């Protein structure tokens, strides 16, 4: 199995807004890095106290067709450890340690498709949507895209110029609707004043007859409040839940994925209220990259925290149970998860766990990662 860690070189920086920069990377050998539109890259940088390495996940704003380049777009967050470190220090030629792209919030281009794709985002939630938008326009000549993008004002629009160019290049196939909560100038066509909430989204979508609600595909990314409002609007329009995808890890991250199920059995995974056995220290066995690790997990620790305390370098990113970078399969024993947003019902049933929010409830827990 190949290592999930890569070293990438910064080859270009693009200033998108006064507080957002796109960082373009390549491998030193210029080989393509496998990814899908919508996935994210985890950056590992020594920006913590005393140079401690910290991890943050950033959605790719590039598409696979831009290989060998990968790009992430980083917006400065007030008090944000990683975003401020990056924007203040990153330079062309610098080498950064990253985890290979992963994530379930993806769109797979289908050249023969003729579909309507609606992307709803706010602020830096545009980054994975931008990757999807470019991929559909480039690789699905019969498909059309509607982007509804909320920002404070015109100056805070990430990718403003790139979106204008794409609208011209793909006239009739791409429509961008901007929503400004505090516009600086008069709004023009395809611009709206107010918050990107349920009422605003309904007003915009009801005017787009070429995007029939029940047939279009919807991808939502942004603050949790915006996504709840968007989901409420789509429910009122009768959009089936199966046609709505949302990115949940982005907000949590700012405060390989398709590995086949193993043929052997699995343990018991619970996301209900922590039950019996949670107050005892348990020994956990981890199989990772051909090695076996055994270590004790205290009652107040997650499995990942206990491993890191033992200097066992397991993969992880968000540490909130959302991004799935730390996913493994529980082969025996019983594990409780504090949060299961990142796992599908099928994955839960197959015994998959997230070590960053997992607690062993029995003494025979064995987890296989990778």
Three state DSSP letters for 113-157 = CCCEEEEEEEHHHHHHHHHHHHHHHHHCCCCEEEEEEEECCHHHC
pLDDT band, very low/low/confident/very high, at 277 (cuts 50, 70, 90): low
Q: Do you know the residue count of the chain?
A: 370
pLDDT band, very low/low/confident/very high, at 261 (cuts 50, 70, 90): very low
Q: Does residue 364 register a pLDDT over 80?
A: yes
Domains observed in the chain: 5-102 (2.40.30.10), 116-253 (3.40.50.80), 268-369 (3.10.20.30)
Q: Does residue 257 register a pLDDT over 50?
A: no
Helices and strands per DSSP (H, E), number in the chain: 8, 20
pLDDT tens readout for residues 125-144: 999 999 999 999 999 999 99
Report residue 354 as tokens. Answer: 């997230």
Please tell me the predicted confidence (pLDDT) of residue 239: 93
Q: Mean pLDDT over all residues of the chain?
A: 88
pTM of the model: 0.78
Please tell me the predicted confidence (pLDDT) of residue 2: 61
Do the Cβ atoms of 314 and 55 come closer than 8 Å? no
The CA distances from residue 82 to 99, 103, 130, 330, in Å, are 15, 20, 22, 32
Report residue 154 as tokens. Answer: 């015109």
Please tell me the predicted confidence (pLDDT) of residue 255: 39
pLDDT band, very low/low/confident/very high, at 278 (cuts 50, 70, 90): low
Going across the sheet that includes 268-270, the strands are 268-270, 334-337, 358-360
CA distance 231 to 224: 11
CA distance 314 to 210: 47
């Amino acid at each position: 199995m190949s290592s999930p860690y890569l070293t990438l070189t910064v080859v270009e920086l693009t200033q998108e807004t006064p507080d957002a920069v796109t960082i373009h990377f390549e491998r030193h050998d210029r080989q393509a890095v496998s990814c899908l539109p919508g996935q994210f890259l985890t950056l590992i940088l020594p920006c913590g106290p005393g140079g401690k390495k910290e991890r943050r996940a950033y959605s790719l704003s590039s598409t696979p067709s831009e290989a060998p380049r990968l790009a992430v777009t980083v917006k400065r967050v007030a008090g944000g450890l990683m975003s401020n470190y990056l924007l203040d220090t990153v330079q062309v030629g610098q080498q950064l340690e990253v985890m290979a792209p992963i994530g379930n919030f993806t769109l797979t281009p289908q050249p023969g498709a003729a579909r309507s794709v609606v992307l709803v985002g706010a602020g830096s939630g545009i980054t994975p949507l931008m990757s999807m938008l470019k991929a559909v326009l480039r690789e699905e000549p019969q498909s059309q895209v509607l982007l509804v993008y909320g920002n404070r004002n015109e100056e805070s629009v990430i990718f403003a110029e790139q979106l204008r160019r794409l609208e011209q290049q793909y006239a009739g196939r791409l429509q961008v609707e901007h929503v400004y909560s505090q516009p600086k100038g008069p709004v023009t066509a395809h611009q709206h004043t107010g918050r990107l909430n349920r009422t605003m989204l309904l007003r915009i979508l009801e005017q787009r007859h070429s995007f029939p609600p029940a047939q279009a595909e919807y991808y939502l990314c942004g603050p949790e409040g915006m996504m709840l409002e968007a989901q409420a609007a789509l429910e009122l329009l009768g959009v089936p839940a199966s046609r709505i995808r949302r990115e949940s890890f982005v907000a949590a991250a700012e405060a390989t994925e398709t590995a086949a199920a193993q043929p052997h059995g699995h343990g018991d995974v619970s996301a209900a209220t922590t039950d019996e056995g949670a107050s005892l220290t348990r020994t956990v066995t981890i199989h990772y990259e051909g090695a076996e690790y055994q270590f004790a997990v205290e009652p107040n620790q997650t499995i990942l925290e206990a491993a890191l305390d033992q200097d066992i370098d397991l993969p992880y990113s968000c540490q909130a149970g959302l991004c799935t970078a730390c996913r493994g399969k529980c082969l025996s024993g019983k594990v409780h998860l504090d949060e299961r947003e990142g796992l599908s019902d099928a994955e839960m049933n197959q015994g998959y766990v997230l070590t960053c929010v997992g607690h062993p409830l029995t003494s025979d827990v064995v987890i296989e990662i990778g």
